[in-house]
Structure 1
């Protein structure tokens, strides 16, 4: 059985406990975009009383986000993506946020 490069990489404590969970939070917000939008809309409409009026939207958003945070498969997906970005950075020296996808000129 051949071990892939991503499985060989040792991750530091800060990567598994801070950086990958940060990636998970960002991706979970995208996956829960409808609930984020509903909560934001409720808050804008309710003003000062949002604490009382937006409980249902807040609970739905928390449930969606928590479901993703506690999903070991989602953690593994984010971990593998993090490792790929780390390997690419080690190869190129360019952080993922600064990397742009190059489009071939001959299409």
Structure 2
């Protein structure tokens, strides 16, 4: 039995298969922001022809996102971030999004 995994809290199916991958998608979009911007700009400029005109930008964006989705270190980073948010929620009862919204107003 791997002792390094025994210290981690048990994650439910929904956390492993839905919540952590959602966090990965959000963070991957941030890391691929230039590719997202290039694809979005192309789509806005191309209108209905975006399917034909933006293939290259779409391909570059997919490659960037897929690189992150398949990276085990990136998964682990997102999992640890999720666990921190979960512990903070259990401690305070305030969801991460509400905590982030309240932070600037208290300064």
- Bucket of the pairwise TM-score, normalised by the shorter protein: 0.7 to 0.9
TM-score relative to the length of structure 2:
0.87
Deviation (angstroms), 1:101: 3.8
Report the aligned-residue RMSD.
Answer: 2.2
Number of residue pairs matched by the alignment? 101
Deviation (angstroms), 1:9: 1.1
Question: What residue is the counterpart of 1:86 in the other structure?
Answer: 86
TM-score relative to the length of structure 1:
0.87
Q: Greater share of helix residues, 1 or 2? A: 2
Gaps of 5+ in 2: none
2-structure distance, mates of 1:102, 1:88: 18
Gaps of 5+ in 1: none
2-structure distance, mates of 1:54, 1:103: 41
Question: What residue is the counterpart of 1:46 in the other structure?
Answer: 46
Question: Relative contact order (alpha carbons < 8 A, sep ≥ 6): 1 or 2 greater?
Answer: 1
Q: How does 1:6-85 map to 2 (within 5 A)?
A: 7-85=7-85
